């Protein structure tokens, strides 16, 4: 598996945990190091505004990517697209290289079912 594939699976697993526990989730980050170790990152804001949390995590992503050992950083967000619940993932390789993927999901029988990426680039 590539680093992106490992990171994608980790992000989906974490999103599933949040969705099954709470039905929604705040933005969070995850990154992978050269040795394959994953690190999960959260943010705190007194306003609990998702945009503010996203901006905090994005700034942190750019800081973490200065470490040459960090291969790729992912930000995950819960959202809506065309009236569907979606998991939005931004894979960040640098401040200039950010790739977004959007996965629709449903929750059935205490399991989250993710659909195919809606945006294939």
Sheet holding 38-41, edge to edge: 38-41, 28-33, 70-81, 84-92, 98-108, 111-114
Domain locations in the chain as residue ranges: 3-114
Higher pLDDT, 43 or 9: 9
Q: What is the pLDDT of residues 59-113, one digit of tens each?
A: 888 888 888 899 999 999 999 999 999 999 999 998 899 999 999 999 998 999 9
Residue 49 has pLDDT above 90, yes or no: no
Beta bridge partners of 111: 108
Say whether 112 sits in a helix, a strand or coil. Answer: strand
Higher-confidence residue: 39 or 47?
39
pLDDT score recorded for residue 30? 94
């Amino acid at each position: 598996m590539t680093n992106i594939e490992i990171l994608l699976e980790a992000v989906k697993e974490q999103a599933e945990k949040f969705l099954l526990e709470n039905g929604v989730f705040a933005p969070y980050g995850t990154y992978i190091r050269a040795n394959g170790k994953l690190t999960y990152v959260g943010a705190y804001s007194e306003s609990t505004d998702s945009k503010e949390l996203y901006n905090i995590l994005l700034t942190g992503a750019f800081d973490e990517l200065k470490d040459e050992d960090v291969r790729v950083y992912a930000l995950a967000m819960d959202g809506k697209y065309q009236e569907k619940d979606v998991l939005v993932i931004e894979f960040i390789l640098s401040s200039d290289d950010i790739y977004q993927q959007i996965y629709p999901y449903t929750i059935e029988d205490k399991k989250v079912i993710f659909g195919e990426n809606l945006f294939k680039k």
